């Protein structure tokens, strides 16, 4: 399985990546706040012994985080020991493949470029029956449901579990809105509202832009602007996350491409590619001179340190077909079929995903929405210092969510040879939306089928 080269490292390290995940696209399950308490997490009498947990680290803070999680589990599970293997991110795939090749691989791993092959070879434990034994995991009033299909790998069985989720959000500078006397974004905002605000909040001193009404942010990536296409009733491919054909030359896609192009070149309310580098060099959204930007929830944690202006988040502008969110699983786990202690491995994975203590520890990291909704909707998550006032939008955006990543054996070739070069031409206004869509769809589908 090829890696998702168009995805940012931040998203990959915070969400553990989803290279190798497969399944059907639409999930559209409700994420309503819990209506009542559910039975407390039960400790398994068989959860003793030792297992090896292998994940990558993205720095000292992540190593400490995994140590704290293991210590908390061991404290509540007498006789259990979690051995941690935490190589750097860029060494993880190679490290795991070497360990698995010896036949003595770890009991728990995360998704990686070898995941699909491991599932097909029968080396990943089927968790379907174990998940079914815990009704809370499949209850939409208790647990985030948007990710289960991602772990089916084209089958009717489930081979993984996740402990959180992330999505795209609209970030906005409240101070700039206040100064201009413009109302803040709401859940009812449309792309027209976005455009009008971006135009009104863009300021110039002659030919020099002193304040941008918007920057494209994640809308500059295929996995970002595709979210807008969903809200117009379409998609850029025929199915998710595995796809067979590109579907660009249609009304929903063209509408969004025109929106992006007009924002930059007609309304001049977002920077061109060459101007974007200058904006980034000046600090981007954090500089205080950008009013609107789309980024993932993974951007909240690093922005907690902003003190020079007030900011908040909102759900993305909705389309003609209403609102649809985007979903990436947080901290996904797979269990080795060769584990000598599968009961303990499952107990740790389930504890990570659904125990209130574990989920509260995850909540305090502020890098993903906890999968347990009683925690996701609690002050432990939403009320912690530094989070934006409308952090509830982070949770609510996952009510109707679809997988953000796409997988095809020829995806890297498709993007390297065709999609990216043509997208850059479109970004620079050298070709039209129609020309981009027609060429990439026609030539891209020939490449995929070849």
Residues 351, 163: Cα–Cα separation, whole Å: 9
List beta partners, residue 311: 173
Q: Is the four-CA dihedral 224, 232, 311, 287 of positive or negative sign?
A: positive
Residues 26, 39: Cα–Cα separation, whole Å: 30
Q: Are 378 and 359 within 8 A, CB to CB? A: no
The pLDDT of residue 115: 81
Q: Are 394 and 301 within 8 A, CB to CB? A: no
The pLDDT of residue 281: 85
Q: pLDDT per position in the chain (450 positions), as tens? A: 223 223 333 443 334 333 333 322 222 222 233 333 333 344 454 689 999 999 999 899 999 999 999 999 999 999 999 999 999 988 988 888 777 777 678 999 998 777 888 888 898 999 999 999 999 999 999 999 888 888 988 789 999 999 999 999 999 999 999 999 999 999 999 999 999 999 999 999 999 999 999 999 999 999 999 999 999 999 999 998 789 999 999 999 999 999 999 999 999 999 999 999 889 988 999 999 999 999 999 999 899 989 999 999 999 999 999 999 999 998 999 999 989 999 999 999 999 999 999 999 999 988 899 999 999 999 999 999 889 999 999 999 998 898 888 888 899 999 999 999 999 999 999 999 999 999 999 999 999 999
Please report, in angstroms and rounded to a whole number, the separation of the first and last CA atoms in the chain: 18
pTM confidence score: 0.86
The pLDDT of residue 150: 85
Structure tokens at 420: 């990216």
Q: Residues in the chain, how many?
A: 450
The pLDDT of residue 43: 47
Q: Are 115 and 334 within 8 A, CB to CB? A: yes
List beta partners, residue 215: 293
């Amino acid at each position: 399985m090829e890696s998702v080269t168009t995805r940012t490292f931040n998203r990959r390290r915070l969400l553990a990546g989803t290279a190798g995940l497969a399944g059907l696209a639409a999930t559209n399950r409700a994420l309503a706040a819990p209506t009542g308490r559910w039975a407390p997490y039960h400790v398994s009498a068989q959860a003793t012994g030792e297992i090896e947990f292998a994940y990558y680290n993205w720095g000292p803070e992540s190593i400490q985080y995994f140590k704290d999680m293991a210590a908390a589990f061991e404290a509540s599970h007498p006789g259990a020991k979690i051995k941690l293997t935490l190589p750097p991110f860029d060494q993880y795939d190679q490290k795991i493949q070497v360990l698995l090749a010896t036949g003595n691989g770890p009991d728990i791993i995360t998704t990686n470029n070898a995941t699909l092959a491991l599932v097909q070879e029968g080396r990943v434990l089927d968790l379907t029956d174990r998940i079914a034994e815990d009704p809370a995991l499949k209850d939409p009033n208790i647990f985030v449901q948007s990710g289960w299909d991602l772990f089916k790998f084209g089958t009717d069985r489930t081979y993984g579990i996740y402990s959180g989720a992330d999505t795209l959000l609209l970030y906005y500078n409240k101070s700039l809105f206040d100064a201009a006397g413009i109302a803040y974004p709401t859940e009812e905002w449309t792309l027209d509202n976005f455009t009008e605000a971006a135009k009104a909040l863009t300021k110039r001193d002659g030919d020099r832009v002193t304040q941008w009404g918007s920057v494209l942010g994640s809308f500059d990536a295929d996995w970002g602007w595709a979210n807008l296409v969903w809200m117009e009733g379409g998609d850029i491919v025929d199915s998710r996350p595995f796809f067979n054909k590109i579907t660009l030359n249609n009304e929903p896609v063209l509408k969004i491409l025109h929106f992006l192009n007009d924002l930059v070149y007609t309304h001049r309310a977002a920077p061109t590619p060459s101007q974007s580098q200058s904006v980034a060099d000046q600090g981007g959204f954090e500089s205080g001179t950008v009013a609107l930007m789309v980024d993932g929830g993974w951007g909240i944690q690093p922005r907690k340190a902003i003190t020079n202006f007030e900011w908040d988040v909102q759900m993305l502008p909705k389309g003609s077909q209403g609102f649809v969110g985007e979903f990436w699983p947080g901290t996904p786990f797979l269990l080795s079929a060769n584990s000598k202690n599968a009961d303990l491995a499952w107990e740790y994975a389930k504890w990570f995903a659904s125990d209130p203590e574990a989920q509260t520890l995850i909540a305090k990291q502020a890098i993903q929405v906890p999968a347990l909704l009683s925690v996701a909707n609690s002050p432990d998550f939403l009320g912690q210092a530094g989070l934006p006032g409308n952090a509830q939008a982070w949770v609510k955006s996952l009510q109707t969510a679809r997988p953000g990543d796409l997988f095809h054996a020829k995806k890297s070739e498709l993007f390297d040879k065709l999609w990216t070069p043509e997208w850059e031409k479109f970004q620079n206004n050298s070709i039209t939306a129609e020309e981009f869509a027609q060429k990439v769809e026609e030539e891209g589908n020939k490449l995929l089928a070849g």
